[in-house]
Structure 1
Amino acid sequence: MTDLYAVMGNPIGHSKSPQIHTAFAKITDQDLLYSAILVPLDGFDAAVDDFFRRGGKGLNITVPFKENAWRYADAFSARAKRAQAVNTLIQQDDGTVLADNTDGVGMVRDITVNQNVAIESKRVLILGAGGAVRGVLQPVLEQSPAEVVIANRTVSKAEALAADFTDLGCVSGCGFADVKGEFDLIINGTSASLAGELPPIPAACMTDKTVSYDMMYGAETTVFNQWALDNGAAKAIDGLGMLVEQAAEAFRLWRDVLPQTQAVMNALREDRRA
């Protein structure tokens, strides 16, 4: 019997997840069907109930339902507890639903494995203090960076987020204008690129050895990555690899096999150029 999986969100028509997971299933010879489900803004719990009632095995959750999924789940992975938002639900054998967050693992795997960029012992600047950043902080800190600085428009939000993670490493929060010194890796976790805007950080934090990483991606170089390159960054990476790698981690949780990702990333980049 073919196992059912899906991604839920609103909107959802743009989602690459069905393409990605269908490719993973082919690569790993898994018998599954993966679809995209548009969920009414006030209908998340009912939609998930219906999906699992129909025999669904697992779900990916995208905006705006990651906090709804957190409230829906019965049990949580350690990283989901830290993130307080989830993007993956797993139907367990006893009928309970386990929640996980694979965003941070996916981003770190893309940075360190696919891009061969070290985080260990490096000075890291992360822009933004919303759910996207909270979701990646634990995996970043587990790489043992020398320091992580969280910069955000609202200073108190950056400071509060940093305080939640100080047990995992050297992490602090500040305002955009208060960013001091040079960084080895700068991660844009804001949605500014979607609006063609830039977080107002000083160009002095960028050197010819700095790597920029934008969690967003598009057909063209993101505004943030273009700014980084214009200011001498050694390398600029967009979030397409993170998208594929977080999906691969969800696939591993569901099917107990980690798919190879390079061919899938290559295909998505080709589609984007077409």
Structure 2
Amino acid sequence: MNSQTMAGKTVLVTGGSSGIGKATAVGLAARGARLAITGRDRGRTEAAARDIRAAGGGRVEVFIADLSSQAQVRRLAGEVLRSLPRIDVLVNNVGGYWNTRHVSADGLERTFALNHLAPFLLTGLLLDRLRESAPARIVTVASNAQALGRIDFEDLQGERSYSGSRAYNQSKLANVLFTYELSRRLTGSQVTANALHPGVVSTSFGAEDPGRMQQLAVPFLRPFMKTPARGAALSIRLASDAGLEHVTGCYFANGVARRSAKASYDGAAAARLWRVSAGLVGLPAE
């Protein structure tokens, strides 16, 4: 792909200080894009920005926020809107896994708050800027874990019963349902919305609170996992490939559009999840 494919484009990547997010930013900078990244730790995020600048030689904006906090998502969105006159691509990359139940600053289960509500709220707050920048793209990093997910509307926050894997699977199915519903709502806007599975990638994902299986299996599996650069390849393609400019409402894995879980095509569940999510973050449901 031509190194200048993204020349003149501005891309915001959440969770861009390490792992797949950083590799995505590096790859898009090398294609000529102006990058903006978010991270929780200023030192690590600034260091990542230096690496991204070295890859693309361009300007990299740094924004610091813990996206599990809605107040910080709102502050971030305000800073982004003041700093970036246009947003051509939003990559909702940030995510996490916790084996035991953690509660966010808003009193919500942290996996649901970070993996689903953060991209839902941030996208909503930036949507007008994306529309103004059209043609624009929204790329959400999901996972094949969506195939094992179930949206438990009676216990979304895992208060009655919690499992780290169940919470994660639910959040990744929520990513796909959100993407499909968002795509429907953006019909005719020239803003596309797609989700993807990056593959099993060797990062520090889940390291804060790993499950026992993770602790036992990951050291043995790590040599067979993708590098962050390989894991970022699909995010980079969905953000930059000219041939995908009009492709929307799709789930990509292994480099191609694929059918996601049967539950992800439940339009009533997607609409209900949208309404519930809007209520939880204080956005209009319509």
RCO greater where, 1 or 2, for CA within 8 Å and sep 6 or more? 2
TM-score, normalised relative to structure 1: 0.35
Give 1 or 2: higher strand fraction: 1
Larger radius of gyration: 1
Give 1 or 2: higher helix fraction: 2
TM-score, normalised relative to structure 2: 0.34
